[in-house]
Amino acid sequence: MRFDIPPPLRVEHEALHRQLVAATSVAGDVGAAAREVARVLHPHFVREEAFALPPLGLLTRLARGPATPDMAPVLEMTRQLEAELPAMLDEHRTIVGALERLVGAARAAGEADVEAFANALILHAQTEEDVMYPAAILVGHEVERAVAQGAKQ
């Protein structure tokens, strides 16, 4: 079974990446601050796309019915997310710090679009912490229950 990042999340990540690339080309302190955000954000995005976001592809199926043992391969990802969650949250703190510096630089330079982007990315990080990561972990818990029930039968 394949586990794909839900298309809206994939498109959002792609859009955020494009906006960040554009911000890195702004002259002066804004571009420098954006390049620092890119430096700390890229490896985090890679990790999210490897194991934190693909389990969310099961949410629609789980909302329609119970988890099934054929979903068991997702457990490798959800267990990795649970194990690495403290590090992922530490990365968010580093990323948000860099974004706050970008907000300040953009505000000082009158780059309202970059400032709005940076604030949106801060909100995105909070959404991941409060919604996406917990939802992915719950997917794993539901699948674990199904696997355990299947083993008992």
Instruction: Report yes or no on 140 lying in a domain.
Output: yes
Instruction: Report yes or no on 68 lying in a domain.
Output: no
Instruction: Report yes or no on 48 lying in a domain.
Output: yes
Q: How confident is the model at residue 2 (pLDDT cuts 50, 70, 90)?
A: confident
Mean pLDDT for the stretch of residues 16-43: 96
**pLDDT above 80 (res 153):** no
**Per residue in 64-101, pLDDT tens?**
999 998 899 999 999 999 999 999 999 999 999 999 99
Mean pLDDT for the stretch of residues 128-132: 97
Cα-based distances in Å from 65 to 57, 58, 62, 75, 100: 14, 11, 5, 18, 42
Quote the CA–CA distance of 110 and 60 in Å, as a whole number: 42
Q: What is the pLDDT of residue 41?
A: 96
Instruction: Report yes or no on 78 lying in a domain.
Output: no
Mean pLDDT for the stretch of residues 135-147: 95
**Per residue in 103-120, pLDDT tens?**
999 999 999 999 999 999
**Structural domain boundaries enclosing 38:** 7-63+85-152
Quote the CA–CA distance of 75 and 79 in Å, as a whole number: 6
What average pLDDT does the structure give for the chain?
A: 95
Instruction: Report yes or no on 72 lying in a domain.
Output: no
Instruction: Report yes or no on 79 lying in a domain.
Output: no
Q: What is the pLDDT of residue 151?
A: 63
**Rounded to two decimals, what is the model's pTM?**
0.92
Contact 138, 58 (CB under 8 A): no
Q: What is the pLDDT of residue 69?
A: 87
Backbone CA torsion sign across 71, 73, 74, 75: positive
Pick from 137, 121, 105, 90: which is nearest to 33 by CA? 105
- Give the number of domains in the chain: 1
Instruction: Report yes or no on 121 lying in a domain.
Output: yes
Q: How confident is the model at residue 152 (pLDDT cuts 50, 70, 90)?
A: low
Which phi and psi (to 5°) does residue 121 adopt? Answer: -70, -35
Contact 77, 146 (CB under 8 A): no
